Structure 1
Amino acid sequence: MADFLCGVRSSPPVVQALLATLFTWGLTALGASAVFWMGSYRQRLLDAMLGFAGGVMIAASYWSLLAPAIEMSSGSAMPWLPAAVGFLTGGLFLRGVDAVLPHLHVGFRMDEAEGIPTRWKRSVLLVLAITIHNIPEGLAVGVAFGAAGSGFPGASLAGAATLALGIGIQNFPEGLAVSVPLRREGMGRLKSFWYGQLSGAVEPVAGVVGAVVVGLSSAILPYALGFAAGAMIFVVVEEVIPESQRSGHADLATMACLVGFVVMMVLDVALG
């Protein structure tokens, strides 16, 4: 194990990002595997898990992305500018993807599907909704490892690994949020699992892209970190929080969000 960890530390940032996002994808698949042993689920559980995931993403956006971005620009006249520009650009990017790519959030009716009108199956639209969710997560991990590889103050390998751990933890309920509802709608267990884990397949791709982009120029690092944070916050506000509040368990979902925030904050401060 020690030799493996040393090998990871000495690997290029792109390889580190790939390994980290394969880990986060694996936890999505682990969550999706609940379809094999969970006959049914309570909506309260799913709402609490979604709230927890939202809290993790909010905390990660600040401690793992925005704070390092601001610290990297501390020597400039406006140290907040790159993070702010990147943050807003990330949100606008996800808004564009959200407006174009057909998708359906968990628990929504078919007539509530978003994006360009299509006749795609409900299962495909559900997977695409979680896929949109996972793009900024994979990107954030990749950018974090790219920043750590650059040697910038405020960015470290431990911090990037902590971000990957936090994203992985909240990916578990995401996999479950796709596979179990599909099973409830009559889809076979194996097919439900397949669609559930497939939603996380975009993370290694986005992670590698993020690491490659920041490796091209250190000047774009604070903008890239802000971009990933803005994209994640857009997903939380537009998708995760509304879904967790939709079924009448608002207080439970809100408390779970606070717990998720604290868990990610503790992980980042203690380990990063």
Structure 2
Amino acid sequence: MESFIENRLNEFNSKLIRYDNSTFELAIQFEPTTIQKRMFALINSIYPEAELGQTVLDSDADPEFVDDVVNHSNELLKLNEEHLARRRSGIQSWMVSGRATSPGPSLQKFNTPTDPSDSWAGKPAKSAIFTSVASPEDLGMWFLYVITHEHIYTRPWFAWNLEIEEKAKQLIVDSSMDWCSFVCRFPRQGISGVSVNWVAAAEEYDAIHITPKAVASIDSIEFNWHGKVIEASFWSVETTVWLRWKFRAGKQITLPAEPTA
């Protein structure tokens, strides 16, 4: 019988084949590029069709086994390589939905984590900000997630491209082993096991980056690593968690138009 992670990657590959041979009907007007189709395939294969996040889908997982399976997924590795190349542009996308207006993110409104218990779904709940890698051509995976989940992220939508300071100290999490090591390096006791102490992590890093490959490897999975239970975390898309304000400039982006009748 196939493992959970093998089923997830099979779902990713089947959706990728379907998306390569279909026309997209989206909430806005644009034609997805090849890398965007890979992003769509990953976004829509993380959870079963009937579920949407915050549910532990696999437990007692071995991170070494998971990473071995993931590292044999050629299409996912291609997406990850393209993603890391795009990341070198230094552009991050930040989005907000359901507000009448948006002044955009700012240092004045930013909060560095100060309470270890401030955690939800494995992430800081009331501090930090979350961005997605962007490029001059597109707004990245978070934008694609929003437009395919409009029933959750209601209009209007606002997006900003943020330029990172060159000296920002970031940790890249690119696998389930990376994630388990990170959690155990900055641990706090959660409900069912160990989760991240984001306050401690903020003392050493400005940001933690979760790559697409890491999302496929860790999202909704509870691990058993060196006798410790690593609680499940939920990301949906590649994400950078900014624990300190490290942006030098921001620009609001005009989003593509809604489809015409």
Normalised TM-score (structure 2): 0.27
Q: Which has the higher contact order (CA 8 A, sep 6+)?
A: 1
Instruction: Give the number of the structure whose residues are more often helix, by fraction.
Output: 1
Normalised TM-score (structure 1): 0.27
Instruction: Give the number of the structure whose residues are more often strand, by fraction.
Output: 2
